[in-house]
Amino acid sequence: MNTRHAILGSDPAAVLAQYRTLITKRWQQRAAEIGGPVAVAGVLAFSIWWLDISFGQSEPGLAALLKFIGLMFPPSTGGHLQLFLKAMAETLSIALLGTLVASVLAMPLALLAAKNTSPNNLLRFLVRRLLDVIRGIDTLIWALVFVGVVGLGPFAGILAIAVADTGALGKLFSEAIEATRARERESIVASGGTALMGVRFGLMPQVLPIIAGQVFYFFESNTRSATIIGIVGAGGIGLQLSEQIRTFDFDQVAFIVLLILGAVAAIDWISGKLRFAIIGRRQPWT
């Protein structure tokens, strides 16, 4: 209170001089404030020049794009409704089976990769690196590889999602396992149970709700990825979508996009309900 009175009472210039250190910025700060945006803009200009993006190209492109959008209305099935619905069902099947296989494969790997359950440090290290490598390769690349191995069709898509998500789920599961309390397992072992029993009765009940939540979340996101892996021939609605775009049937493109949006929203809703029913509350997704 006293200081405020003093400030109000005295000469503004003197006050300013007194508190100059509070309102002036250090030169480093000033340099960062000016240099940051300049650097961002510089890289931006360099990127445009390096990638040879010409704005002359964008004008006819934009016109073409507007024409495409015009052609999208009204969306139409083009008499292929049944084909599209079948492809959509295929997409959902790919997502379901892919996620399921991935979670089954990821569970034992996660137990081997988690610090508190791994029987051996070397094994743990190897499993973790394996999961890293699998995770580092995109689902679409896996899809392309599996198309080469088992041929065109949804089966390749299932395998792609199964493998790619084994990496991601394995890591998430192992983190969930590492975050459990040791007491439950210790008490089971102390009362004569084997280590495996400790995992089954002491650890599983703790991680199962978390894992179930993650699996549902992955099912949702896989529904999205399963819509695009068809573009490389791994089954599902993506194949139809890329065909219609390549043949410029934009009314059907619009219909397929709407179908995808509807299906994704429906799956999100159902799986969200199930997820909250299992884990009980909204969980921050990391």
Partner 1 sequence: MASGLPALPEQRLDQLLAHYRRDVARRQLRSLAMVACLAVLVVLAGRSGEVEPGKLLQHLSGLTSYFGRIMPTLRADHLTGDITEWYWNFFGWLKLLFDTVLIAYLATFTGMAGAAILAWLAAANLAPNGVVRWLIKRLFEFCRTVPDLVFALLFVSAFGLGPLAGVLAIGIHSFGTLGKLYVEAIENIDMNPVESVHSAGGRFVDAVRFAALPQVLPNLASYTLLRFEINVRASSIVGFVGAGGIGQELFVAIRKFYYTDVSAILLMIIATVSIIDLLTERIRHRLAPAASVG
Residues in touch with partner 1 (CB under 8 A): 40, 43-44, 46-48, 50-53, 57-58, 61-62, 64-65, 68, 86, 89-90, 92-94, 96-97, 100, 133, 136-138, 140-141, 144-145, 148-151, 153-155, 157-159, 224-225, 227-228, 231-232, 235, 238, 241-242, 245-246, 248, 253, 257, 260-261, 264-265, 286
Instruction: Of 243, 219, 265, give the one whose Cα is nearest residue 93.
Output: 219
Minimum CB distance to partner 1 smaller for 96 or for 279: 96
Nearest-approach distance from CB 253 to partner 1, in angstroms: 8
Nearest-approach distance from CB 268 to partner 1, in angstroms: 9
Q: Taking a C-beta distance cutoff of 8 angstroms, is the pair 109, 166 a contact?
A: yes
Cβ neighbours of residue 124 under 8 Å, at least 6 residues apart? 112, 113, 114, 115, 118
Minimum CB distance to partner 1 smaller for 113 or for 260: 260
Nearest-approach distance from CB 119 to partner 1, in angstroms: 26
Nearest-approach distance from CB 84 to partner 1, in angstroms: 14
Tell me how far apart the alpha carbons of residues 150 and 156 are, in angstroms, rounded to a whole number.
6
Cβ neighbours of residue 83 under 8 Å, at least 6 residues apart? 240
Tell me how far apart the alpha carbons of residues 221 and 178 are, in angstroms, rounded to a whole number.
24
Nearest-approach distance from CB 194 to partner 1, in angstroms: 22
E strands present in 174-222: none
Q: Taking a C-beta distance cutoff of 8 angstroms, is the pair 102, 170 a contact?
A: no
Minimum CB distance to partner 1 smaller for 86 or for 115: 86
Minimum CB distance to partner 1 smaller for 118 or for 263: 263
